[in-house]
Amino acid sequence: MQQTDEGAPRTVAIIPARGGSKQIPRKNLERVGGVPLVARAVHAATAAAGIDAVVVSTDDDEIAAVAETAGARIVRRPAELSGDTASSEAAILHALDELERRGESFAVVAFVQATSPFVPSVELSAAVEAVREGTADSAFAAVETYGFLWRTGPDGEAEALNHDASHRPRRQDREPHHLETGAFYVFRADGFRRSRHRFFGRTRIIAVPEWSAIEIDDAEQLAAARALAALRETPARIPVRAVVTDFDGVHTDDTAIVDADGGERVRVSREDGMGVALLRRAGVPMLILSTEVNPVVRARADKLRVPVLHGIDDKEDALRRWAQEQGMPLADIAYLGNDVNDLPAMRIVGWPVAVADAHPLVRAEARVVLHRRGGDGAVRELVERVLSS
């Protein structure tokens, strides 16, 4: 096998991620835990031991840009390998051929699926190690199951598959079966080229946690994955270089007192004010980005000594321009929002963050949902997580 300088076989992780999808349009760019699915796959592969390169095979410019930002290299997939009927095997073979044309050869392939949002890096490492060390020719992710499987026979009657229907042993008296999750497959490149299939030779099961087994094919599974991410992924630290926030519902509780002349007064948190001061002293750039055209927004920004852009209808465009002026990669920015008009801006940054009482759609797409509500210390909580990084 092709080896590294240290003598271990070289391993490439290949992530097929085409732009088309029938059930969920642009599925590979959908966010789970605030991170696009293709980027989550790249991060998981990068974190796995024994992988020397991470490659995304795609026909889509936006997917390519997101994958590159996440740290992957790109192989452009031709149109004939990008349709609904194109197989993953064909995409992997094309990627291997393209890498060889670039002068790179790999002995082991880790096929990682972007539609599995919780690829466990530790178990992926174990699969890579098994193939690299020669104890297996191919390996795949699976979960243990003690379920009794049935099928409907030709006459419509139920037929037992993996058990004797007349005998119901206790769980502890049974050996488990394993259910393939689709998260990853690891195999020798030469054997894959010969068989053109992901299973060949000595095949090994790599048991993964049951919670990681979800695979996204439809909107309900996407919603379930987002809910699971909110439960399992609660980063205490937010390692960014800049912070951008909405105003109403973030610095305020999203209510206003209107006087007889139409003037508005809002409630803000002094705790948030101290947080902004700490962020400013640490030299972390901050911007308030608001749709509202209201003197109270400018007055609060001046009090905080923070630049403000208000009366902004297109927050995404304004944020892109500000980041470019600052020389700041979008991946290094946290955006704190509360309502649906914040979603376009949240979708382009590395760390979309929601206040605790944000709109459900905002909470669903946030990488972090804070414990504090808008106007009640949410900005301070975000600042403390940023500064702790």
Structure tokens at 288: 């308030």
Confidence label for 74 from pLDDT (cuts 50, 70 and 90): very high
Cβ 67 vs Cβ 59: under 8 Å: no
Please give the Cα distance from 8 to 30 (Å, whole number): 36
Query: In this predicted structure, which of 138-147, 165-174, 314-323 has the lowest mean pLDDT?
Result: 165-174
Please give the Cα distance from 223 to 325 (Å, whole number): 36
**What DSSP string describes 128-192?**
HHHHHTTS-SEEEEEEEE-PPPEEE-TTS-EEESSS-TT----GGGSPPEEEEEEEEEEEEHHHH
Nearest Cα neighbor of 181 from 120, 93, 228 is: 120
Return the pLDDT at 29: 94
Return the pLDDT at 21: 80
Nearest Cα neighbor of 250 from 279, 288, 218, 222 is: 288
Cβ 119 vs Cβ 183: under 8 Å: yes
SS3 110: strand
Return the pLDDT at 9: 79
Structure tokens at 147: 């379920």
Strand pairing of 158-160 and 257-258?
unpaired
Confidence label for 172 from pLDDT (cuts 50, 70 and 90): confident
Cβ 284 vs Cβ 242: under 8 Å: yes
Please give the Cα distance from 191 to 189 (Å, whole number): 6
Radius of gyration from C-alpha coordinates of the chain: 25
User: Helix 378-387 vs helix 270-281: angle between axes, to the nearest 10 degrees?
Assistant: 20
Return the pLDDT at 84: 80
Q: Give the containing element (helix H, strand E) for 372.
A: none
Place of tokens 């009927």: 85
Buried (b) or exposed (e) across 83-97, using 16+ Cβ within 10 A? eeebebebbbbbbbe
Instruction: Check residues 240 and 389 and name the one with the higher pLDDT.
Output: 240
**What DSSP string describes 51-71?**
--EEEEEES-HHHHHHHHHHT
**What DSSP string describes 335-372?**
EEE-SGGGHHHHTTSSEEEE-TT--HHHHHH-SEE-SS
Q: Catalogue all structural domains in the chain, each as residue range(s) with its CATH number.
A: 11-144+173-232 (3.90.550.10), 242-387 (3.40.50.1000)
Convert the pLDDT of each residue in 208-263 to its tens digit: 999 999 999 999 999 999 989 988 887 889 999 999 999 999 999 998 888 887 77
pLDDT above 90: percentage of residues in the chain: 79
SS3 293: coil
Q: How far apart are the first and last CA of the chain?
A: 41
Please give the Cα distance from 190 to 138 (Å, whole number): 11
Return the pLDDT at 7: 58
Q: Give yes or no for residue 6 having a pLDDT over 60.
A: no
Return the pLDDT at 174: 86
Predicted model pTM = 0.83
Please give the Cα distance from 126 to 184 (Å, whole number): 11
Strand pairing of 351-354 and 242-245?
unpaired
Q: Is the dihedral of CA 106, 107, 109, 110 positive or negative?
A: negative
Return the pLDDT at 258: 83
Place of tokens 């630290």: 237
Nearest Cα neighbor of 384 from 374, 371, 375, 367 is: 371
Structure tokens at 183: 């998260």
Structure tokens at 80: 């004939």
Task: Taking residues 13-22, report their average pLDDT.
Answer: 91
Please give the Cα distance from 299 to 18 (Å, whole number): 47
SS3 248: coil
Convert the pLDDT of each residue in 332-388 to its tens digit: 999 999 999 999 999 999 999 999 999 999 998 899 999 999 999 999 999 999 999
Instruction: Compute the half-sphere exposure of residue 350: CA atoms within 13 Å on the CB side of its CA.
Output: 18
Please give the Cα distance from 355 to 380 (Å, whole number): 11
Convert the pLDDT of each residue in 272-284 to its tens digit: 999 999 999 999 9
